[in-house]
Amino acid sequence: MPKAKKKAASKKKAMARRKTTNPRTVKSELKHISWDSVELEDLNPLLQRHFVVGQNIMLARVLLKKGCVVPEHSHHNEQLTYVLEGALKFWIDGKSIVVNAGQMLTIPPHMPHKAEALEDTVDLDVFNPPRADWINKTDQYLRGKK
């Protein structure tokens, strides 16, 4: 095979390899973070949050004042909610579930859910993959309402 054809074939193979390479295989970065150093975002008068994003996961610390309602919504992200202080009432899968301090709830992807803070509450939410709407601040269902 002539040199030019070999070079073209080699280039074609390299391009094919690049197309099948997962762009998410970028090396992860080690982070050591304090919540005090993460911006606390005021979403509405009763709701604040801050979050840290890893390569494939997000951890959010959410502060809800008594009476705060998170409107019904769903997302493609799997969610785990762990209540540190207070209590949240969820309406999910045709049930109402109260999650108290020390308890958690796992929410599968695409499952509609709504929540209300029964008292001042602090919770940790874990999402996989990270919530793009939170990162991009396009989560209008949480902003500016009680």
The pLDDT tens digits for 58-110 are 999 999 999 999 999 999 999 999 999 999 999 999 999 999 999 999 999 99
| Cβ atoms of 29 and 51 closer than 8 Å | no
**141 pLDDT exceeds 80?**
yes
CATH of domain 35-142: 2.60.120.10
| Cβ atoms of 65 and 57 closer than 8 Å | no
Average pLDDT over residues 116-131: 98
Work out the pLDDT band at 144, boundaries 50, 70, 90: confident
**21 pLDDT exceeds 50?**
no
Q: What is the pTM of this model?
A: 0.79
**Mind listing the pLDDT tens digit for each residue in 35-65?**
999 999 999 999 999 999 999 999 999 999 9
Work out the pLDDT band at 146, boundaries 50, 70, 90: very low
Q: Tell me, what's the pLDDT at 9? A: 55
33 to each of 13, 38, 54, 80, how far by Cα in Å?
Answer: 42, 8, 12, 20
Q: Tell me, what's the pLDDT at 11? A: 53
